[in-house]
Amino acid sequence: MEKLQYLERIKVSTIFRSFYLNRYKKRSRVQKLFILDGVAINAAIVLTSGIFLSGYIVLLGGSDFLTGLLNNSLGWASVVALASSLLFERMKRRKKIIITFNILSRLLVCSTIFLPLIIYNNKITLFVLTIMVITGNILWSFFSTGNVVWMMNTVPKDTRKEFIYARMFWLRISFTLFTIVMGFILDALNKSYVGFFIVFVTSLVLSIIDAVILINIEEPENSVNGNKRVNSKQIFEPWKNKEYRQYLIFVLLFYLGLFTSVSYTPLYLIRYMEFDYKFISSITVLSYIFMIVSTNFWSKIEWKKGIKFVLRVGAFFIIAEVLVYAFLTKQTYFLLFIASIVSGIGNGGFNVALLNYRYDLMPEDNRTIYESWFGAVYGLGTILAPVLGGYLLGHLPLISNAVSQYGNFQLLYLITFIFDLIIVFVFFGIKQKEKNLCYNVERNRGVNFKVEHTQ
């Protein structure tokens, strides 16, 4: 009890501790640079995904299915992330190739904005754009796997979770501000090509800045297998870990259900609801604001209630957003404010806890393969989701009445809510199991009273 009270007293400034950590100057500098890395690259990613990428594809005349597929490609392209473990596990030094993947990925995605200046046929432009975006995002999955492991290996275990919450806090502020500014620019330029040109070029500049930041971060030597060959036993080790296997199954099913409808949300708001970018950006920013504000709150809740409590409650908030969308029409546009608030609160804790819990379950070695399996499973769920969603949209009835304007979309959101509600209940519905699992994880890792909080 005294140890827990001690933790409560020192928790007041925990959200900023990893940013201002001076205990180890070398390590502190690395943490600060990784925070700057998050600030730059996440702003860059936001500007070439979501409403911005979907809006650009709609401008070029892309179909509903293509818009939904590419909107979510950053997620499902990670299905090939498992291959990155075969590469990284052989290398003691990975920094150069990780940065190379980063640069190539961002160049491919950002350069799609130059295609209309070279190709004057929109059908051909869309075809080339699709190849460039998918290829770029596949390379991004390799970079992301290596970058996360690199970052987590440089942070001490006793400050890891504090650092993740601090990093999340700052990067969320960054992409919120850029979303606001670019939304206004697009509307000021009447959603024209020039507006999208400014957005994508800004993303490219931020990506270059991020590459410079990464170049200046020192990399610790990675432990590799003695014979430098990754065997099948190592590759499938995560699936033999019962708790990590359950985690992977949850990730697969939860995101399969969620992105079945969410993949089409930017398209739904832009093409069918016909909302302008200023309004959509304001809704997105509202979600980001609540994500930022709730970061410290979720950090405290994780310490008090446990990481699985954060996952369960955060997931409920996330799926509450799609329930609100089930009742959205042009006349009930105000519901978007409610949806954004609950989404921001939910993602504020859930996304951090998902990473934290993953690294709680991982052993200290062989992390790249564990991280790769997460990327592969997440990617599988998000690549199947828009295909399933597109099929359902084509077969669900087009109901139009007082509460339903585009019935197929609204029913799809309702299906997502019910499916994910069941998934959350199955995996996190029993409190006693959650508590026991949390205690077992910490006891097995010898954490004692210094609770580790990872993303």
Q: How many Cβ atoms are within 10 Å of 4's Cβ, its own excluded?
A: 11
The pLDDT tens digits for 12-50 are: 444 444 444 444 344 478 888 999 999 999 999 999 988
Strand locations in 109-181 (E): none
Higher per-residue confidence, 431 vs 269: 269
**Cβ-Cβ contacts under 8 Å for 263 (sequence gap 6 or more):** 68, 69, 71, 72, 382, 385, 386, 389
pLDDT-wise least confident of 348-362, 416-430, 440-454: 440-454
Position 277 pLDDT exceeds 90 = no
The model's pLDDT over 356-408, given as tens digits with 9 standing for 90+, comes to 898 888 887 777 788 888 888 988 888 888 889 989 988 888 776 666 677 78
Q: Is residue 314 scored above 80 in pLDDT?
A: yes
Indicate whether 234 pLDDT > 90. Answer: no
- Contact status, residue 288 vs residue 172, Cβ threshold 8 Å: yes
Give all domains of the chain, ordered by start, each with its CATH number. Answer: 24-219+233-445 (1.20.1250.20)
Helix (H) or strand (E) segment spanning residue 63? none
pLDDT of residue 225: 59
Task: Kindly tell me the number of DSSP H helices and DSSP E strands found in the chain.
Answer: 22, 0
The mean pLDDT value for 144-149 works out to 85
Please report the pLDDT score of residue 190 as a whole number: 86
Report the predicted TM-score, pTM, of the whole model to 2 decimal places: 0.73
396 contacts: CB under 8 Å, gap ≥ 6? 407, 408, 411, 412
Alpha helices in 189-236 (DSSP H): 193-215, 232-235
pLDDT score for 275: 84
Q: What average pLDDT does range 123-141 have in this prediction? A: 93
